[in-house]
Structure 1
Amino acid sequence: MARRTGRGCDGIRRGPWRVRRRHHLCFQRRGTDANLALGDLFGAADAQWRRHCAPSRGHLNDSRHRRVGACRTAAALGAAEARSVSLSLKNAVVRKGEFRLTADCETPASGITVVFGPSGAGKSMLLAAIAGLHRLESGRVAFNTRVLEDAPARTRIGPHDRGIGLVFQDARLFPHLSVRGNIQYAEHRRPAARNAPITVEIARRLEIEDLLDRRVRNLSGGERSRVALARAIVSAPELLLLDEPFAALDGRRRRAFLKLLKDLSKSQNLPLMVVTHQVEEVAELADHVIAMKGGHVVSHGPAADVMNWPDFAALLDRRDFGARMDAASVAGGHTGGVWIKADSVLLAAEEPRGISARNVWRGIVRSIAREPDGSVMVSLAAEAGYISSRITPEALADLRLQEGATVWAVVKSHAL
C-alpha cells in the first residue's frame, strides 16, 4: 500500500511498475503514438521480436547514458567528422503482406538524397525500414559505421535509439496539443548534447509563428506539413527522412519549401532523405538519387549521373522525359539542378538571333529515335550537358537533321 501523505497527494505505490494513485481519473484514451519514430517506443517491432529482444528498463537507462556520452564524443570530434561516412543497406529485405522490398545501395551521409520512383515502388517502405519501423527479414542497415540492424546476427537498434527523424506524409501530429505543444514535445525530449533550433526560431524560419497557439485540427494540409517538419528538426536527428513532404503544398509554398530544405541541410549540417515522385523536384533538390521500381533499387549515385541513365529514364512518364542540367548553365535564377523536359526544347538548324528566349545551347546530334506515336526524340550533346527534344517527323525533315549534325537547342526560362 502506498503511504498516505495527505488528502490531496497523488501518491506512488512502492515496488516496481508503480502506479500513481487515482490513475483511474486520468481520462486520456489509449492509442497509438502519433509519431512513432520520435518517441521512446517499441511499437514498431512485432510482438515476437519484442518478447525476445526488448531490453529491460535498467538496460534502457544505461543505454540512455551511453547515448549522451556518444553524442558528447561526436560533438568533440566535430559534426562534419561524425557524419562523414554513409548510409548503407546491404541485401536488405523487408516483407509486408505480399509486397517484398529489396535494397542494396549506399549513399553519403551528407547533403540531400532523393528517393524517386512511381507509386508502389516501395519508397515509403524503404524510409520506414531505415527508421526501424519495419524489421528486416534479411540483410543489414548501417549509418556512419553504426550497425542499426543485422538480421543474420539478430542485432537490432530500436527506432527510438537510432537518432533518425521521420516526417510522414500525413504529418501525424498530436491532435490534443497545440502547434506549440507539438513542437515543444520534441524539443523537451532531444538529447542535451545535440544542437537544434528552438521552437520560436524554427517557427519563424518555417513561417508558422502565427500558428503556434492554434490547435492542429484547424490547420490546412500545407500548415500541418510545416509543423511536422518543425517538430522533427527540433528533435535534433542525425538523419532526417521525409515522405512526400511537398504533397500538400501549392506552387509557391512548394518552391519555398524546396529552398528551405536545402538551406536547413546546409546550415544544420543535417543529411536529408526525401521521397518524391516529381522529377522536377528530384533535379532541383537532390545531391544523390536512389531510383526504385517494383520494390527494387534500380540505380543509385550522384544526381547528375543517375538522372541521365537509361534506368532512370525508364521510370518516367512519356511527357516527363528530358534531361537534368546544372542550374549554373540555365538562365532564370535556379539553384541545384534543373529538369528540362523534351517537350519544352525547340531546335534550330542555324544559330538563333533576335529572340526572347534566354537559354540557347549549341550541340551535336547524338541520336535520333522514333517513338510509337510517330514523334521523334532527338538527343544532343552540348557544353552544358545532354539535352533531349521531341519534335515532329515534319520538323525532322525540314531541319535535315542527322547524327553528327550541329544544332541549337532553345528553351524559354518560363518553361523551366
Structure 2
Amino acid sequence: MSVLKEVRFPAAAELPMNIWVDDSDSAVDIVDALALSPFATGTQPWARLASLERVRAEAALTPPDGRLVRTAQEEDGSDARLFCGDGWTLRVVRHRNRCATVSVTAVSEELARSVLAKTTEGAVEPPPETDHIEMGFWWFGPHGPRRSDKPITSPSWEQISGNYSARVREAVGRVMTVTPAEVSGRLLLLHGPPGTGKTSLLRTLAREWRQWCQVDCVLDPERLFNDPGYLMEVAIGDSGEDGERWRLLVLEDCDELIRAGAKEATGQGLSRLLNLTDGLLGQGRDVLVAITTNEDLARLHPATVRPGRCLAQVEVGPLSREESVRWLADGGAEEFAGQVGADGATLAELFAARSGRATTPAAAPDTPGLYL
C-alpha cells in the first residue's frame, strides 16, 4: 500500500511549497515539482523550455551564476539538476541518448530567455553537412502531439537513381524536379513489394525539395486519422518561421488506411485522409501527403487513386534480371550475378547478394506481420 507523506521544504531552499508524495515517486519527480513551484505560485510567472538533441558530451548545461540546490539520477542514466539564481529557477534533465530538456522560470520574460540562452549556448552539435538533412517526426505523447527534428541520411537523386529500374527512374525523376507551381495533386503514392527502396526515395525527395518543402514523418498514422485534434495539430499547426513553405507528411506502410474496404476497417480514417488531400481540411494550407504501401494498386480504395488526387502514383518494383546483373557489376560484385533469378531482384536482395548473404526470400507467413 502506498503511504502518502506531506513534504514541507524549509525556507532555506527558497522554494516554498507543499507537495504530496508516495513510494511511487522518485527523486527526479521531486526535482520536477520543485522546478514548477515558482511558476505555480506566481513568484516567477515566466517559463521557457528547450528540448535539445545531439548534446555535446562536454556541455555543462549549467548557468554561469546559478547555484545547484538539488540533483537526482535514475538507473536508466537520466540525470536531473535544479539550479537557483537571482529571480530564476532552472531544471536540467539529461538522458543517455544525448538528449536533454532545459526549463527555466523567472520573474520576467527577458530574464527567462537570457538564462535559457546562456545555459544552452554551444551545447548542441550541428547536424552533419554531408548527405544529411533535417526531417521532422510527429508522434502522440503523454501530453499530446509532439514534433522533433532529426538529421537523416539523404543522398541525392543522382546518387541513388541507379538503384531503380528504368521505368521507376523515369517516373520518380519527374517527381524529384517538381516545383510548387507544378503541384497538381496532393497525394504521392509509392506502392510495391518490401525491400524495393520506397523509404529511400522519400529520404531523397526530402533533399531534392528542401528549398521549398519541409518533410515530416508521422510515426503513428493510425492514431493521426482517428484523432481529429491530433490531425489538426499536424496538418494545420502553427505556421511559425516556415509558414511560407510547403509541407510533406510521410505515412509509411499505411495499407489498412487506403486499401479497398478501408472505410469499414478504419472508420473515418480514410475520409479524413481524403479531406486532407483535397477537401476542406486541406484548403488554405500547402500540405502534401506521401504514402508507402506494399499493396498492389488494384487492391487500393478507388477514391485514393482517382484522377486529379495524386501528384504521382509510382509502382516501385524489383529490377529486371539484366538491370540486376548490371547493378552488381557496377558495384564490383559481378561474381554474385548467378544468384539473380529470371524475374530479377529487389534492391534489398541485391545489397544482400553484394555482401555475400543469401538472397532467397523467406517463405511468406500464414498470418500478416510487420513489414521490413
TM-score, L = length of structure 2 = 0.34
TM-score, L = length of structure 1 = 0.31
